[in-house]
Amino acid sequence: MKNIKVIIATHKKYRMPDDPMYLPVQVGSEGKEDLGYQRDNVGENISTLNPYFCELTGLYWAWKNLDADYVGLAHYRRHFKGQQKAKDPFDEVLTLKETDALFDHTDIIVPKRRMYYIETIYDHYTHTMMGEPLDAVREIIAKKHPDYLAAFDKHMQERSQHAFNMFIMKKDKFDEYCTWMFDIIFDLYDEFKDVDYNAFHARFPGRISERLLDVWLMTKGYSYEEVPFIYMEKINKVAKVSGFLKAKLFHKKYGESF
């Protein structure tokens, strides 16, 4: 069996999958009560940046400290879905055995695309979030990683993405992606860290990083395997649709997650 570890980013005590592949990581754990999970403030870490970087503080910890041949990220309320069907969603979570088999013919696993049917990636983000950081990340890519600019521009006009910063990769590609992505996101954070965004919109580094995975995959030309994802909680679809319509029609930015 391959040495595969998928961290589960969480900020609270929560039920976790009962499978040795998964490692719950308490993100933003610096100065917080110990939840009994692996903390992201040990070893080389950026735990204090969690209010801005979201699950990326857990990803950074895994990149710098975790010893595994394949590394990935999931969320406490959002997981990769396996083949099994059950009433309990935790019994449907992708297992180590299933993941091991997938890696017999690929080096990268990503969630199935999230669809934005009536808007492009760029339009959806700028309608619902503060758009200036997204424009700034394009300038950073143009300056530091120009080979990726065409893919960035193309992806911004697409209507789907591999979202949520969820993936599992062979270690060499994981290292390659993190080196590239964090180089961009750190510069982006430095450029806007003194802007007076509220707590919700201050999380732009984490959100924009979600839009970079497909840019990297497109530019590198790497093949990947798509796997369904599953929510562990019910989605408030009414609030989600209402928030989107307010953003689309009345230019009212999101004020909370749905």
Q: What pLDDT, on a 0 to 100 scale, did the predictor assign at position 103?
A: 99
Q: What pLDDT, on a 0 to 100 scale, did the predictor assign at position 4?
A: 99
Q: What pLDDT, on a 0 to 100 scale, did the predictor assign at position 227?
A: 99
* pLDDT of 207 above 80: yes
Query: Where do the domains of the chain lie?
Result: 4-250
* pLDDT of 163 above 70: yes
- Report residue 172's pLDDT band, with 50, 70 and 90 as the boundaries: very high
Phi first, then psi: give them for residue 71, nearest 5 degrees: -130, 140
* pLDDT of 257 above 70: no
Question: Average pLDDT for residues 52-68, to the nearest whole number?
Answer: 99
The pLDDT tens digits for 209-232 are 999 999 999 999 999 999 999 999
Please count the other Cβ atoms lying within 10 Å of the Cβ belonging to residue 206: 21
Q: What pLDDT, on a 0 to 100 scale, did the predictor assign at position 27?
A: 99
The pLDDT tens digits for 14-24 are 999 999 999 99
Query: How many Å apart are CA 240 and CA 194, to the nearest integer?
Result: 30
Decide if domain 4-250 falls under CATH 1.10.760: no
Query: How many Å apart are CA 91 and CA 85, to the nearest integer?
Result: 8
Q: What pLDDT, on a 0 to 100 scale, did the predictor assign at position 253?
A: 53
Here the tokens at position 142 are 């143009």
How large a percentage of the chain has pLDDT more than 70?
91
- Report residue 247's pLDDT band, with 50, 70 and 90 as the boundaries: low
* pLDDT of 13 above 70: yes
Q: What pLDDT, on a 0 to 100 scale, did the predictor assign at position 53?
A: 99
* pLDDT of 82 above 60: yes
Phi first, then psi: give them for residue 178, nearest 5 degrees: -65, -40
Query: How many Å apart are CA 185 and CA 212, to the nearest integer?
Result: 10
Q: What pLDDT, on a 0 to 100 scale, did the predictor assign at position 254?
A: 61
The pLDDT tens digits for 105-162 are 999 999 999 999 899 999 999 999 999 999 999 999 999 999 999 999 999 999 999 9
* pLDDT of 28 above 60: yes
Average pLDDT over the chain, rounded to whole?
94
